[in-house]
Each structure stands twice: as C-alpha cells, then as structure tokens.
A and B are shown apart, each in its own frame.
Chain A
Amino acid sequence: MTTPADAKGLLSGNGLKWALVALIDTALLYIIAGMYAQGEILFALTLLVLTGLGTWIFTSQKAYSYRYVYPCLLGIILFIIFPLLYTFNIAFTNYGSANILTLERVKEIHLEQQVRDSEVAFGLALYQNDDNYQLVLTDKSNKQAIYTTSSFVPAEQATEVSATAGNAAAGKKLSMRDVIKQRSALGMVTVTMDDGSRLVMTSLREFGVMTPLYREGDDHTLINNQTGEIIRPDMTTGFYVNEAGEQLPPGFSVYVGMENFERLIEDDGIRQPFIKIFIWTLVFAGLTVAFTAAIGLLLATLVQWEPLRERGVYRVLLILPYAVPAFISILIFKGLFNQNFGEINMILEGLFGIRPEWFTDPFLAKAMILIVNTWLGYPYMMIICMGLLKAIPDDLYEASAIDGASPIHNLLYITLPNLVKPLTPILIASFAFNFNNFVLINLLTDGGPMMSGTSTLAGNTDILVSFTFRTAFIAGQDFGLASAIATLIFLIVGFISWVNLRATRNLQEH
C-alpha cells in the first residue's frame, strides 16, 4: 500500500536512504568478494549474512522494530558470539605460527616463486641520456639478436620497461663502474620482450628470464616446471609435500579433529602442567573468594557499627582499592614486592631480618598473589555485605543481646544464616571472575616462576587463562592448542554460570 506520504518520502528522505544503503552494501560486497577470493569462507559467509540481514531490516517496513535492535545485536554477534564460535573452530585446527595462512594464500606463494631459466641470458649495456637511461640487451647465444628498451629513470621501486629489436639507444654507454652504481635500481627493472617473456637482472652483466617454479595442476596440486614433480597439499598436516614426502613451508591451517584435545590428555609434557594449573586455578579462585568474603563481611559489620563514630571515614578509605584502576594497583604491588629493591622486603628485613623471594619461590609467589588479590577484592564484598546486612532486622540482634549472646553467637546464629542465601550468587560470580582473572596474574607474576620439564612453557602461578595466553601469544603461537584450552574453560564457566542461575532462582523462590 502506497500512501501519498510514502511516495513523497521515496523522492526525498527515502531516496537518500536507498542511496546510503546501496553505497554501504556495495562497499561490504566488495570486501566480501575479497575475503572469498582469499579463501576466508567463514568470514565472507558471516559478513554476507549480516549484510543481507541489515539491508532487509533497514529497508523493509515490516522489520521496523529491529532497526533499533540490529546495531546492538551486531555488536554482540560480532564481538561476543563470533569470537566464541571462532575459538571453538580454531580448537579443531592446527592454526599457529607454522600454519597461519589459508591454502589459497600458500598456493599463491608457491606460484609466485620464480626460478631462472638458465638457457636464456642477455648481456647488458647501459646508456645514459641526461636523466634517462636505456638498456641494450644482447642475446648470449645469438649475438645478432639485440634489443633496446624504452627509456626509464632509475628509481628504488619496481620499474617496467618494454624492449624492441635493434640497437637504438641514445646517449653514451656507461662504463662497468657506473653500471655498478645503478645496480640496485637495475635490480628493480623488469623488461618485457616483444615475445611476451619477462627479463630481470640475474647478475651484474646479465639479464635473464625468470619463470615460475610451479604451475597449477588439478585439485590444488602444483607441478614443478623444471622437474615435472607434482607437489600436493597434505590436508592432515597443512603443508604442501613433494613426492619424497618432504614438507614445503609455509603451512596452511587445516582441521585436525580432536588432536589438540588429545595432546592435552596424552602428551605428558602438556598434561602434567595443565593439571597442576587447573588445580591452582581452583585453589586461587576459591581462596580469593573465601578471604575477600570473610574480610569484607568483617569490615562491613565494623563500618556499620553505630558506636564507632568515625565509621564514615573508614568506609571511604576502605573502598579506595576498588576505585583505583586494577592495572595500576597490581603494578604498584609488583614493585613493592620486588625482591631486591621492593619496599616490602626492606621493611621485613628491618623488622625480622628476612628477604622472602616473592618471585622465584613458587609457594611465596602464590601467597603474594593471594595477598594482592584479597587487597583488591575485599571492597567489593564489603559493599555487597553492607547492603545485605542492612536487610537483616535489628530486632534479632536486640533479642540476642537481651539473652546475653556474644558477638560470635550473633555471627553464627543470626548474621551468617541470613546472609548465606543472598550472598551465594555473588560468591559464585566472584569465583567465576577470579577463575579468569587474567589481568592479575599477567601483570603481577606473568605466571612465573616457570615450571621445569614441561614440553610447553608453563608457570607455577599460571591460571588457565594466562596459560592459554602464553600458549597462544608467547611460546610458539600455538593457537590451536590455546583455543582447545579456552574451549574447556568455556565449558567450565558455562557450568559455573548454570550453577549460579540455579542459586539465583532458589533465592527468588524463597
């Protein structure tokens, strides 16, 4: 149904809209085509679907409501869901520093390889006419065949000239010494002969024909132009292999099935550190939650205790660790704990004459991490507990005071039972957060001290995420293995979240 208003809109506002949509779509389609050509099917397909969906939503009147949702959904799809799925995808590939390209790209690289055709060689003479230069090329096997190139200006960039038969060079012929001066510029010159063959400088005195090493065969195979040998892509290892079975780098990424997960289980050098790290991750997250919750609860009680007149001041100062950006306070601690110059060891030496090796002793490193993380984490628990404590009716404490109960009794029989339910989801969420507390580990110890005797680099204080990070970006760029570990963490986090959801629901029901 077209109302007059619509028709008018089509001419003015809508016309602009259509033009805009067409413009954006054209740009996106251009990119998609580029991706497809490079063999990035997954990327191209994702982008194509999103482009199509977007176009429909912003042009169809039926999808009006979705116009408001689509931009934010796009953010969520592209930067939460897609990275998630992409991580799963990489976990089943051998994507890594040795196999980082796509098959198409590797094929291109092989096809770009050039070898010199030893049978054809031209002697060269260089002529200068002011700023312009010309080459005269003489076929070495047939001295009668002389060619002259079009004139060019030597430059440090790829220069293309064409050559025609006959000696027609203008200007003066340069001596060998002057030719040598132009050596690097001549190295950038490609001469196209009239029969279509292309010459490049092969030595100081010669130009020769460069021919591609490979030509394309069927089904991604490549045929060696010199020997006729066929090399084919091995889709299980991600390399081209020749007939002798040797791998020809660079590699491309291929699906390797469960191999990365199998390495986690079967390779002792990976499994043992992995299990150690997993246990430490649980201990780290568990103890952090226990310490922060205990201290947070204690402080929340104190800063709300009415006889303590100046409690407002305490409250503000105690929240400070929460207000300072974590990356700054963690680094401050890294410096304070420094074994040689750190202020903490200086004080400890002054008081007790000890200098603990916070960064080289695994146990002390773990202790330090827990100390720092408790310092960082208690204010959050304190704020939460302050809210929850207010919700407990005062009558309960009055009644117990009349009965002469001690503070310990109050804590055990009034405060804790009333706190458990609402606090549980918070504690679980805090556990999940610390389970993945990458920033703390990476900035404070960077996983160190290192474990010895492992086939992959692993640190004693590494938690799963920092181990993943190290595997992916520091030691060997094994993206496949790193993604496999990340996938396992996803499952664990998913499980924790599910437990948390149950706990929250329990809370709401009661």
Chain B
Amino acid sequence: MAMVQPRNLKYRVWAARLCMILLLCLVMFPFLMIVSVSFRSGNFATGSLIPENPSLEHWALVLGIPWEAADGTIMQPTFPVLTWLWNSIKVSLITSALILALSTTGAYAFARLRFRFKDHLLTMMMILQMFPAVLALVAFHAFFNKLGNFIPWLGLNTHAALIVSYLGGITMNIWLIKGYFQSIDNALEESAAIDGATPWQAFRYILLPLSVPILAVVFILAFITTIGEYPIASVLLQGADQLTLAVGAKQFLYAQNYLWGDFAAAAVLTGLPITIIFLVAQRYLVSGLTAGGVKG
C-alpha cells in the first residue's frame, strides 16, 4: 500500500466501523427477529430477541404435525406448507430443466449454425426481455382460461400451465449460453464433422460436455427465479393445495387470520435453503457470467 495516509486514519476507521455495525444491525434485524418469533409461543407474543420460554409449536404446525398446547387443546396446522414447498420445488425443477433444454439448443443454433434472420432474432430477444410478464397477466389468465376448455390439464389452476408459462423466460439464458459456446473453440466439432458427425452429434457429444459449468449456472439461475416468482403464479393458481410457496406464504398475514408465529417458522424453513443455494451458487454465477459475457 503505497498510498499517502492521512494522520487521522485511525479515527476514520473506527468511525467507519461504527457506522457499519449500526447498519448491519438494521440489515440483520428482520432476519434475527423472524428466527426469534418462530420460537415464541402464540401468534401475538412479544418479547426480547431471545425468547424467554422457547416453544416449538410453530415449527410443528408448519411441518404438518398437530401441536398440543399447554392447556390441552390440540392445534391443527392451518396451511399445507410442506405441500406448497413441494409444489414450488416441483414446478421450479421441471421449469429449470425445460428452460435449460430449450435455451441450450437455441443457443447452439445461434452460436454455431447459419440461418436467415439470426441477428434479427437475437436483437428481438434482447428487446423482448425488457417487458416483464407482470404486464401481461390478463393475457396469461385469459389464455389459460380458454386453453383449459380444449386441453383440461393445461387450464387454470394446474401446475402444467404455470410451468409452460415460465418458458418465456429463456431469452437472457440463450444469450448467456451462446456467449459461453462462442468462447469454446469449434475445432473439435469441425474435426468431428469431417469424421461424419451430424450437427446434433457434435452438439450432444462434444459441445455439451464442455459446457457443464454454464449449464449449471443457467439451471440454478432459472431455479432461483422460478421459486420466487409471484405474479403469474398468483393469477394462475387458485386451489389451496395447488399453490406454490410464493403465493401461499401471503395467507399467513391476512388481518382477519394473523399467524405471525407460523409465518416466521415457514419463512425460516423455506427461506434458508433457497438463500444458501443462492449464496453458494453466487460465486459460480459470477464466474460463469463473466466467462460468457466477455466474448458475447
């Protein structure tokens, strides 16, 4: 560090540290509070950050286990949280797999094959991803409402409809994968082609195995986006057992049925794994994104 240091550096560092700690308190407050609330008994209990008499009642209820209160009454779980979590995971996994399949094949064509309107299509995708799906909610609702008359398993309130409607979210991923493909030298594929490999074989047996990192990135990216998606899911899903977590979680906090403690347990239970996936994936995400982005 060859920098010229001001004399009052020490005070400045301590001032910065103090600011930082105050700010971190503000940032961490909601998280610590929600963990604390999830162990309090009752839904309106107040208390300090560390509960005086911790209770597992909310955790039991969220996990679907009836809970016997101190006075002997049995509390039944209000919402099928585990079903919602399973719905979310199911929808997200299938969606991510489909998005991966669609965007890899698409990206392959854009990176390696020659065809008309290629550049136009790429620009079009760039522009289209600026319009969020939330603006077309009416259209999604009407579309699946009508489609359900002809194909019942694709109508409103089905997971299939939700999964299918998420397939529009592939534009950014195509760009990502395409950038990565272009960063791989195509000499291998060319020599395979000379040996008689079809474009499909070159893609399947040479390019794909080389691109596992970006495929993982896209899969995780799609998974995180889908599991937190709220607008479309809230319009398409209606039945209590069909909801995803993002839509269902809201029901804990209706004014007439305020289940703050149960919500806290559900939030920790479901938020924690997603957060960990994100934090772990983030490192790879950044490296994957830059690897693709540079040559894009």
Q: Which residues of A contact B (CB under 8 A)?
A: 31, 34-35, 38, 40, 43, 64-66, 68-69, 71-73, 75-76, 78-84, 86-87, 90, 95, 299, 302, 305-308, 310, 314, 316-321, 323-329, 331-336, 338, 341, 343, 346, 375, 394, 397-398, 401-402, 432-433, 436, 438-439, 442-443, 465, 468-469, 472-473, 479, 482-483, 486, 489-490, 493-494, 497, 500
Given A76-B128, A314-B24, A341-B44, answer yes or no on A86-B267 (Cβ-Cβ < 8 Å): no
Of B131, B171, B258, B271, which contacts A84 at CB under 8 A? B131
In whole angstroms, how far apart are the Cα atoms of A65 and B171 in the complex? 18
6 contacts between A and B (CB under 8 A): A72-B105, A307-B12, A333-B30, A335-B34, A338-B260, A433-B132
B212-256 contact mask (Cβ, 8 Å, vs A): 1 or 0: 000000000000100110110011000000000110011011000
User: Is the pair A72, B138 in contact by a Cβ cutoff of 8 Å?
Assistant: no
In whole angstroms, how far apart are the Cα atoms of A418 and B1 in the complex? 22
Of B54-62, B70-78, B187-195, B274-282, the one with at least 4 CB within 8 A of chain A: B274-282
Question: Hey, which chain B residues are within 8 Å of A64, CB to CB?
Answer: 199
User: Is the pair A436, B134 in contact by a Cβ cutoff of 8 Å?
Assistant: yes
User: Is the pair A68, B165 in contact by a Cβ cutoff of 8 Å?
Assistant: no
User: Is the pair A84, B136 in contact by a Cβ cutoff of 8 Å?
Assistant: yes
Q: Which 4 A-B pairs have the closest CB atoms?
A: A79-B168, A72-B106, A83-B136, A68-B109
In whole angstroms, how far apart are the Cα atoms of A486 and B108 in the complex? 35
Question: Hey, which chain A residues are within 8 Å of B294, CB to CB?
Answer: none
B94 within 8 A of A: no
Question: Hey, which chain A residues are within 8 Å of B28, CB to CB?
Answer: 317, 320
A73 to chain B, nearest CB (A): 7
A-B contact count (CB 8 A): 242
Question: Hey, which chain B residues are within 8 Å of A500, CB to CB?
Answer: 130
Give the contacts of B149-167 with A (CB-CB under 8 A).
Answer: 149-151, 164-167
B219 to chain A, nearest CB (A): 16
User: Is the pair A95, B150 in contact by a Cβ cutoff of 8 Å?
Assistant: no
User: Is the pair A72, B102 in contact by a Cβ cutoff of 8 Å?
Assistant: yes
In whole angstroms, how far apart are the Cα atoms of A325 and B34 in the complex? 14
User: Is the pair A71, B150 in contact by a Cβ cutoff of 8 Å?
Assistant: no
B180 within 8 A of A: no
In whole angstroms, how far apart are the Cα atoms of A506 and B174 in the complex? 25
Question: Hey, which chain B residues are within 8 Å of A497, CB to CB?
Answer: 127, 130
- The A interface, classified by DSSP as helix, strand, loop or mixed, is helix
B208 within 8 A of A: no
Of A71, A346, A439, A493, which contacts B135 at CB under 8 A? A493
B295 within 8 A of A: no
User: Is the pair A76, B2 in contact by a Cβ cutoff of 8 Å?
Assistant: no
User: Is the pair A73, B106 in contact by a Cβ cutoff of 8 Å?
Assistant: yes
In whole angstroms, how far apart are the Cα atoms of A346 and B264 in the complex? 18
Question: Hey, which chain A residues are within 8 Å of B108, CB to CB?
Answer: 68
In whole angstroms, how far apart are the Cα atoms of A78 and B224 in the complex? 23
Of B20, B143, B174, which contacts A86 at CB under 8 A? B143
Q: Which chain B residue lies CB-closest to A473?
A: B235
User: Is the pair B135, A321 in contact by a Cβ cutoff of 8 Å?
Assistant: no
User: Is the pair B27, A87 in contact by a Cβ cutoff of 8 Å?
Assistant: no
In whole angstroms, how far apart are the Cα atoms of A493 and B129 in the complex? 11
Of B125, B142, B252, which contacts A90 at CB under 8 A? B142
Q: Which chain A residue lies CB-closest to B199?
A: A64
B197 within 8 A of A: no
In whole angstroms, how far apart are the Cα atoms of A346 and B113 in the complex? 63
- A-B contacts besides A308-B13, A472-B137, A493-B130, 20 pairs, CB < 8 Å: A64-B199, A65-B114, A69-B105, A69-B121, A72-B105, A80-B129, A84-B131, A308-B16, A319-B279, A319-B282, A323-B278, A335-B264, A338-B260, A341-B46, A438-B230, A468-B135, A468-B137, A483-B138, A486-B135, A497-B127
B67-108 contact mask (Cβ, 8 Å, vs A): 1 or 0: 000000000000000000000000000000000011101101
A480 to chain B, nearest CB (A): 9
In whole angstroms, how far apart are the Cα atoms of A343 and B30 in the complex? 9
